[in-house]
Structure 1
Amino acid sequence: MQEQHPDPLIEEALRWSVVLKNRSVSADDRAAFDRWLQADPRHEAAWTQAQQVWMRVGKIGPAFANRAPPPKPRQPTPAPGARPPLAATPAMRPAVSRPAPVSRRRLFFAAAAVAAIAAPTALVLSRPGLFADQRTAVGERRTVALPDGSTIELAGASALSVDFTASMRRVVLQEGEAFFNVAHDPARPFVVEAASGHVQALGTAFDIKLGADAVVVAVSEQSVEVSLAGAPPVIVRDGQQVRYRAGQLSAVREADLAQVQAWRHDRLVFQEAKLGDVIADLERYRGGRIVTTDSRLRDMPVSGEFDTRQADAAIDTLASALSIRVRRLTDFLVVLSPKA
């Protein structure tokens, strides 16, 4: 599942919310906030939406959520020896003032609010497979039979569209992961489009996974040709895999097919995978969002095997192994943060 990234302006507005909610907020902080608010008309709209988000996530700040932006204060003259404002450090204010980091607890709640930015309607409309011919729900696994005798097994939260003509068999994988078992028909090439690449089956069985930052193609029978704009096509044979992203095609290497296809048996297997990628996979089987309060957590290496039918147990196992704190704010929102 591709991760949904929050609007950076709303995220910044939420961080201002954290600063202004701090009991030690100064007049300089408020002045810096006002400069940010007036710098761009989009900032005011982001601020309004941020307040709504803040209120939605567990009613974090009921007294604060309905407040209007603070009135513009007189520019104060700092007293000798006065502490600098929370939002005034040079690293955080290159041109327009930005809020500086505050306590871990407040950033925890800010991150949780960022995760809930998209309203339900907006979230649904933003899904790449909304109008797909075939799609699976979270946690569902289903096999689709095609008119030519080919079959496609869809993983959870996956979507694709099919376009068969007299001369071409075309499938577009729009979201998630799928295993293809292609019927031989040299008169009609079977081509799968996934992100920026094309995978042409050469009478074969193969897996394609749309990851957060790359597409992975792994072949279990015969071979496929993977082509990408700006790069020469490569042949991937059985027992091999290749990764690609926009304009970049990796070298072909050996694939661990048991690991690649574990999802077909309700398992997820990881070997030195980034926690961010593990989270993306778990979301396809658990539903909702799993967010982190510290971006460094997403790069932590993970090795292990998990049951897709027990995604919450997998989260708890990861938290124990990696010394991560887990907060379940709602049934659909889990927040991971470093232990103090």
Structure 2
Amino acid sequence: MNEDATDPIVMEALEWFVRMRDDKVTVADRQAFEAWLAADEAHAAALKHAQALWTRFDIMQPEFDRMRRGRPLISRRNFILGSVTCIGGLGSLYAINQPGLFAEYKTDIGERRTIGLPDGSTVELGSYSALSTRFSETERRVELYRGEGFFDVSHDPARSFLVDAGGGTTQALGTKFDVKFVDDLVTVAVSEHAVQVQGRGFSNLRLEEGWQISYGRDGLGQPIQASLDTVEAWRDDRIIFQDVPLRRVLEELERYRRGRIILMDSSIGAIPVTAVFETARTESALQTIADTLGVRLLNAANYVTLVYSAG
């Protein structure tokens, strides 16, 4: 069989190869994959060629590293097995390690949802987000597993309102704030009053209205003044970038479409992007980025998008 990525069967196998490793994979996806695999003996061979092709060009490892960082319960042995084979048990492997799989509230890709909480507070969930609540007589605690939420907190001096995300906790000291948890980075922005941000490895910090801060593997960053129009643009189905590195722009766009966007050339990841995109038109956004920055896009059956330098 031709191992070139232009071979139609290999291209189709590439799509399945990545789709089955996507944390957005659905039960229907897994059933369709098994049907595709059983339909023709050539498909299993194509799948092996696809895996070899990706390994050769070293474009799988960053994705696997990112998934592995967020899944401490998966053993090295199982991770390697899951990386090498797509046949048998793949769906269950990813199902048990999908963040927020059993979350109380979830949104699909491109969906926004406003949820009324038992205490009268509300949270608006952004695209592909998940959270659960644990309310008691002494505190109101929310865990954001992934995505973004805008919180409007009701006053209750007897019970603190806490949002856990990415190893840190944001405590409401007022009413309205935004918490975003994407790719191991948490960003908190305050729209009204103040919050207190605390976590392992860094001291408690009070964040006032109009300010934002991020924390992640490298600890707590420095507070910066927030552009609240930019922070809350997703609530109007827009995303705004102001001198944001290309790699982070692609990570954000990925939240609003099915499939992976993979940056093949790390040297262009730091290129700053300033733009306003509609969340429902991510393909158009990708093409605009390509035309503006002079980068190239390669689509594998519209599921995998590879971004690399045009030079």
TM range (shorter): 0.7 to 0.9
Q: Which of 188, 199, 203 is the aligned partner of 1:232?
A: 203
Measure how far apart 1:292 and its partner are.
2.0
Q: Could you list the runs of 5+ residues in structure 2 that have no partner in the other structure?
A: 5-9, 18-41, 65-82
Partner Cα distance (1:148, 1:59) in 2: 44
Q: Is the 8 A contact 2:13 2:43 kept in 1?
A: no
**Which of the two has higher C-alpha Rg?**
1
Name 1:199's counterpart in structure 2: 170
Report the Cα offset of residue 202 of structure 1.
Answer: 1.0
- Match in the other structure for 1:267: 238
Q: Check conservation: 2:110, 2:257, Cα contact below 8 A.
A: yes
Task: From 203, 225, 234, give the equivalent of 1:254.
Answer: 225
The equivalent position to 1:56 in structure 2, one of 10, 13, 21, is 13
Structure-1-length-normalised TM-score: 0.67
RMSD of equivalent CA atoms: 3.3
169 and 67 in structure 1: CA distance in 2 versus 1, 3 angstrom threshold = closer
How many positions carry a matched residue from both structures? 256
- 1:65 positional shift: 4.2
**Whole-angstrom CA distance in 1 between matches of 2:180 and 2:271:** 21
2:255 matched to 1:279? Answer: no
Query: What's the counterpart of residue 283 of structure 2?
Result: 312
Q: In structure 2, do the counterparts of structure 1 residues 108 and 312 end up closer, same or farther at CA, with 3 Å as the change threshold?
A: farther
Match of 1:286, SS state, is coil
3-state secondary structure, aligned to 1:271: strand
Distance (whole Å) between structure 2 residues aligned to residue 127 and residue 58 of structure 1: 20
Question: Displacement of 1:294 after TM fit?
Answer: 1.5
Match of 1:171 among 128, 139, 142: 142
Residue equivalent to 1:155: 126
Structure 2: distance between partners of 1:136 and 1:67: 31
How far has the Cα of 1:178 moved from its partner? 0.7
Q: Name segments (4+ residues, structure 1) moved above 3 Å.
A: 62-68, 106-120, 122-125
Report the 3-state secondary structure (helix = DSSP H, G, I; strand = E; otherwise coil) of the residue aligned with 1:57: helix
CA contact (8 A) 2:13 2:47 kept: no
Partner of 1:245: 216
Q: 2:12, 2:300 within 8 Å by CA — same for their partners in 1? A: no
Letter in 2 for 1:164: F
Q: Distance in 2 between matches of 1:244 and 1:290?
A: 24
Q: CA shift at 1:300, angstroms? A: 2.0
Matched ranges for 1:329-340 at <5 A: 329-340=300-311
Alpha-carbon distance between aligned partners in 2 of 1:159 and 1:59, rounded to the nearest angstrom: 25
C-alpha distance in 2, partners of 1:325/1:54? 18
Structure 2: distance between partners of 1:67 and 1:145: 45
- Give the Å deviation of 1:111: 5.7
**1:147-200: CA deviations, max 9, x gaps?**
100000001011011000111100000001110000010101000001111100
- The CA distance in 1 between the partners of 2:185 and 2:309, in whole Å, is 27
The equivalent residue for 1:26 is: none
How big is each residue's C-alpha offset from its partner over 1:183-239, in whole Å with a ceiling of 9 and x where there is no partner?
Answer: 010101000001111100012100011132421100000000001223221111110
Counterparts of 1:143 and 1:335 in 2: how far apart (Å)?
Answer: 34
Residue identity in the other structure for 1:57? L
After TM superposition, list the pairs within 5 Å mapping 1:14-93 onto structure 2.
56-57=13-14, 65=45
CA distance in 2: counterparts of 1:327 and 1:202, whole angstroms: 47
Q: Say if 1:57 and 1:113, in contact at 8 Å, map to a contact too.
A: no
Change in Cα spacing, 1:64 to 1:128, as seen in structure 2 (3 Å) is: closer
Distance 1:219 1:66 in 2: 50
Percent of aligned pairs sharing the same letter: 38
For 1:305, what is the secondary structure of its paired residue? strand
Q: Is the 8 Å Cα contact of residues 184 and 217 (structure 2) preserved in structure 1?
A: no
Instruction: Say whether 1:143 aligns with 2:100.
Output: no
Amino acid at match of 1:221: E
